[in-house]
Structure 1
Amino acid sequence: MKVLVVVFTLILLCPNGCVAQLKPNFIVILTDDQRFDAVQENGNPAILTPNLDRLMKKGKNFTNAHVVFALCSPSRAAILTGRYGSANGVLELSSKLNPGEKTIASYLKEQGYYTGVSGKWHVDQSPQALGFDFATTFYSNGTYHGRKITDQGKMVQPNEHCDAYCARRSLDFLQMAAAKDQPFFLFHNTQLPHMDDHMEWPAQDSTRARYQSSDMPVATNKNDDLANKPKYLKTVRNRTQASVYGYPDKDKIQAHTLDYYSVITEMDAFVGSILKKVDELGLADNTYLIFLSDNGWMLGDHGFTSKVLPYQPSTHVPMCIAGPGIAPSVNASLVLNIDIAPTLLDLAGLKLPARMHGQSLKPVLTGKKPGIRDFFIYEGLGSYGGAKPNLTVISDRYRYIVTYEDEELDRVNFRELYDLKTDTDEMENLASRPQYASRIKTFEKAIDRHRKEVVLPARSATH
């Protein structure tokens, strides 16, 4: 007896009559100030993040993901353009992209994608000007409740949590997108766990009650005297504001961490509603879900608070990608926020622009390659909080930080080298030890190349 086997392939009919594969959908979920270990799946049993945990188990969890500059606006611009801040123009808060910069939303929109953004917006151009059809956003940071939100061009001020409102509008976007005969891209941005306008993390009492202060972890290097680090760090905002919070006192750090974890748990529930909607609408089989944070956060590490500085808790972020053809797994290779844009374009079957500094992670997602780079340059060139400019080489094992006197980058203020394999707390500065001279020379060449190929051409173009 003969058996007839029929294979069905999901196709679309092009306008000219050709046949094309259905393009995938993309949802990028970007949280604010969420450090790498502020999610249970990354080895922290003290925090409650059930929805993010399920997403990270479902896809490829990148445990060595970093941002190329740990600050709100620059990180968003890097994700949108796939380019360093010195090139795209955003090195400070509320900056504008340089003329001619193009975002992932614009690239996808040109290819027929329905594009939407919901939540925090922190680039000084309108979402519509940067390629978004649908936009429900609040600008920068502020109060959690009663926030002014621009919803499709109309100003509203809902008497509820801004992240709850915008999560619901993301659900509306998904409902509309599912009804359209075109692929979609949603960029969902939370305010949480960024502090509110009173420099606090005001979670609900019921959420806080799920935690015990005594269970909160405390950085082992909280009493760092900074003796082998740049002198200016003793008076930088990261240190003075930490003192206001009561750091490095253990009890103060634990109480603060409880507040931080509590708002993350609330944020996790808001994000969970989006993940649930994807399943309810039957979108999961053709939708890539990308989760990451705009930067890390220091909770007493080195006696610091906040971000920006080129140390591990500041640059290291959670990140995962789930979707069609991605097997659940953990990957420890170096990946960056500037890789998001080229990855989405590659997954959509589009040609990658040569001007992007990031690289597509598609070969890693499909298992063809274990990783795509051996090191990267952290571009700490903004001035937020009084930080001095730095260019930092970060590899799988080492972190080499060159701090400069000023933005001209021609006078070195201080050098640091840490072996992350033996010194995860970045306490033992090896930069002056002769046995590391050859390695430092290699790192110096990488920094010099970045200055010549990325920083200086961008400065010449804008002057």
Structure 2
Amino acid sequence: MHLLSAKGLHIKNALLLFFVFATFFTNAQTKRPNILIIVSDDHAYQAIGAYGSPYHATPNIDRLAAQGVTYANAFVTNSLCGPSRACLLTGKYSNINGFKDNFSRFDAAQPTFASYLKQAGYQTAWIGKWHLESMPQHFDYFKILPGQGYYYNPNFIDMKGDTATMQGYCTNAITDLTLNWLQQRDTAKPFCIVVGEKATHRSWIPDTADFGAFDKVDFPLPVDFYDDYKDRYAASVNDMNIAHSMRLGYDLKMAADTGFGKDNYTRFTVSQKRYFDKYYDSIYSDFKSRHLSGRALAEWKYQRYMRDYYATGLSLDRNIGRIVDYIDKNGLDKNTIVIYTSDQGMYLGEHNFFDKRFMYEESFKTPFIVRYPQLIKPGREDSTLVMLLDVAPTLVQLAGLQVPPDMQGKSLIPVFKGNGKHFRYEVFYHYYEYPNEHNALPHFGIRTHRYTLIRFYDPKKRQKKINEGSLLIKDYNPKDYWELYDLEADPHEVHNIYGKNKNSVLVKKLKEDLNSLIKKYHQADAETILSGK
């Protein structure tokens, strides 16, 4: 009897231990993750190795991709710096969150993923570029760049509203502030930190350590570099054309134009100025000796643009490595979701463009790479249609909360698990800003896996023309018209086939789907335009 009791006690203890360990492992697997979001500015997906770039410029971003998932079809809702960030924060389209263009002011008191995470016990921070014309709220800590910020010796605004200058290169400074916050955070709480990078925004200025890094690369011209914009009025009147709009001084640091110096040159220290002058003066001297014009000048400007742009991205990638290394070396990697994205894509000479805004692929699509070992198998590439709009609901659900019904994005958790086949069949886009320095006409549209249908429109009520630094914002006569592209037959979107198909079953179905999305996302402006009222 004594032996049976001992045996029974042993079994009971073993079962108890089993349930304790089972509970421990279950809790470990469902523990709310830490959250690290790195948002770059104007970083083109086609400049990243994981998306096919051959120049070995992004080894740390590529490492994240190898350890996580790369989304080939990630889209923004509105390809402009501030509006895209507002959508990321709120999970709502621009017409709902109130930040339609860079003339807007973001109501930072409205609910954001940060406000919900704070309710769930998270410690929250935003460091770097904010660009929403207001002070952050719902963050336990922030230190932000005023407006666009500067690449060298940038100013930062602290939580008291005070502004101070940090010496050095902006991307390095943002990382230093990020690591300092991570080291001093309350380790008893899960954290969410957003790192807002300035790079690779115009005008592109590399760190002194990266001057000339790509000067031996001869970048091939995009196949549509000499696009004639046939049947595409908005593209034909744009002012983001490398050949005609890219400025030798402001954009390319050639002394013929003082626009660059007004905002940046006077910020250099003596040492920084010496490096800068030594590098760019020699390029300018060579340029003057060539007496370039026509296509030769356009192609020279393209090469300078690409070399500066890629070199500016080197520090971005290097500093992403520093931050991720901290996560990994401190044992946080297994329970931290790391998201790398940009506020939109960027044209790297496609259509002869060098900005964003248009709904064409290079601007509409954005890099989106996620590492989260709890749910994501490493090294995956995924073609699911996802959006920056989906980040907020995803983070809220990962924090153990119900997704608020007024968020318009969708949680990506099923997609992380590989169940994205029926996640989304089309995406909706709406760009509002007019006038603007690049003469981009407002437009909205729908993009499916195969087709893109765009409606350009005259905004009627126009803002006054303004000056952007020394750049005069021009005016022109907008037109209401449609564009349609078959992305399988025409991936570069140079053949507008709407005219041939406007009465087709295809266009009828696309317009029906577009109308459904307009109603779903409460796009009253678009609904009015389509109704002709």
Counterparts of 1:108-123 in structure 2 under 5 Å?
Answer: 108-123=117-132
Task: Find out whether 1:228 has 2:237 as its counterpart.
Answer: no
Task: Find out whether 1:173 has 2:181 as its counterpart.
Answer: yes
**Aligned-residue offset at 1:325:** 2.3
Distance 1:175 1:455, change over 3 A: same
Alpha-carbon distance in 2 for matches of 1:57, 1:86: 36
Alpha-carbon distance in 1 for matches of 2:377, 2:461: 46
Determine if contact 1:61/1:321 at 8 Å carries over to the other structure.
yes
Determine if contact 1:242/1:300 at 8 Å carries over to the other structure.
no
Distance 1:412 1:457, change over 3 A: closer
Determine if contact 1:70/1:294 at 8 Å carries over to the other structure.
yes
- Aligned partner of residue 279 in structure 1, secondary structure: helix
Alpha-carbon distance in 2 for matches of 1:436, 1:36: 35
2:357 paired residue number: 308
Alpha-carbon distance in 2 for matches of 1:119, 1:425: 34
Distance 1:450 1:212, change over 3 A: same
Distance 1:20 1:315, change over 3 A: closer
Task: Find out whether 1:191 has 2:201 as its counterpart.
Answer: no
2:480 paired residue number: 413
Distance 1:259 1:76, change over 3 A: same
Counterparts of 1:318-357 in structure 2 under 5 Å?
Answer: 318-323=367-372, 324-328=374-378, 329-357=380-408
**Out of 402, 416, 419, which is 1:368 matched to?**
419
Determine if contact 1:241/1:305 at 8 Å carries over to the other structure.
no
Task: Find out whether 1:80 has 2:89 as its counterpart.
Answer: yes
**Out of 269, 276, 281, which is 2:330 matched to?**
281
With 155-164 and 245-254 compared, the bigger mean Cα shift is at 245-254
**Out of 144, 147, 157, which is 1:140 matched to?**
147
**Aligned-residue offset at 1:11:** 8.5
**Aligned-residue offset at 1:60:** 1.1
Counterparts of 1:10-409 in structure 2 under 5 Å?
Answer: 10=24, 22-93=31-102, 95-98=104-107, 101-127=110-136, 129=137, 131-153=138-160, 154-177=162-185, 179-195=186-202, 199=203, 201-204=204-207, 206-230=209-233, 232-239=234-241, 242-245=244-247, 249-323=298-372, 324-328=374-378, 329-383=380-434, 384=436, 385-406=438-459
Q: Which runs of 5+ in 2 are unaligned?
A: 1-6, 249-293, 463-477, 529-533
Deviations 1:390-446 (A, max 9, x none): 11111111111111122689x971111111111111011111224872121122123
Distance 1:439 1:459, change over 3 A: closer
Determine if contact 1:46/1:215 at 8 Å carries over to the other structure.
no
Alpha-carbon distance in 1 for matches of 2:323, 2:112: 23
2:280 paired residue number: none
Distance 1:29 1:94, change over 3 A: farther
- Aligned partner of residue 135 in structure 1, secondary structure: strand
Deviations 1:10-35 (A, max 9, x none): 4899xxxxx99531111111000011
- Aligned partner of residue 432 in structure 1, secondary structure: helix
> Kindly, what percent of the aligned residue pairs are identical?
29
Alpha-carbon distance in 1 for matches of 2:207, 2:29: 49
Q: Which is greater in Rg?
A: 2
Determine if contact 1:158/1:165 at 8 Å carries over to the other structure.
yes
**Aligned-residue offset at 1:206:** 4.1
RMSD: 2.9
Alpha-carbon distance in 2 for matches of 1:429, 1:166: 43
Please identify which structure carries the higher strand content. Answer: 1
Determine if contact 2:242/2:302 at 8 Å carries over to the other structure.
no
**Aligned-residue offset at 1:304:** 1.7
Distance 1:94 1:103, change over 3 A: farther
**Aligned-residue offset at 1:81:** 0.3
Alpha-carbon distance in 2 for matches of 1:174, 1:9: 29
Alpha-carbon distance in 2 for matches of 1:371, 1:192: 35
Distance 1:333 1:434, change over 3 A: same
Determine if contact 1:242/1:304 at 8 Å carries over to the other structure.
no
Alpha-carbon distance in 1 for matches of 2:502, 2:345: 32
Determine if contact 1:73/1:90 at 8 Å carries over to the other structure.
yes
Determine if contact 1:47/1:261 at 8 Å carries over to the other structure.
no
- Aligned partner of residue 373 in structure 1, secondary structure: coil
Determine if contact 1:378/1:392 at 8 Å carries over to the other structure.
yes
- Aligned partner of residue 72 in structure 2, secondary structure: strand
Determine if contact 1:418/1:430 at 8 Å carries over to the other structure.
yes
Distance 1:337 1:387, change over 3 A: same
With 29-38 and 87-96 compared, the bigger mean Cα shift is at 87-96
Alpha-carbon distance in 1 for matches of 2:159, 2:329: 25
With 204-213 and 167-176 compared, the bigger mean Cα shift is at 204-213
**Aligned-residue offset at 1:70:** 0.6
Alpha-carbon distance in 1 for matches of 2:319, 2:299: 31
Determine if contact 2:44/2:348 at 8 Å carries over to the other structure.
no
2:492 paired residue number: 425
**Aligned-residue offset at 1:113:** 0.6
Determine if contact 2:133/2:147 at 8 Å carries over to the other structure.
no
**Aligned-residue offset at 1:251:** 3.0
Determine if contact 2:384/2:420 at 8 Å carries over to the other structure.
no
**Aligned-residue offset at 1:56:** 1.1
Determine if contact 2:212/2:307 at 8 Å carries over to the other structure.
no
Determine if contact 2:347/2:354 at 8 Å carries over to the other structure.
yes
Alpha-carbon distance in 2 for matches of 1:275, 1:288: 11
Determine if contact 1:175/1:281 at 8 Å carries over to the other structure.
no
Residue type of the alignment partner of 1:151 = D
Aligned residues: 446
- Aligned partner of residue 498 in structure 2, secondary structure: coil
Q: Which runs of 5+ in 1 are unaligned?
A: 14-18
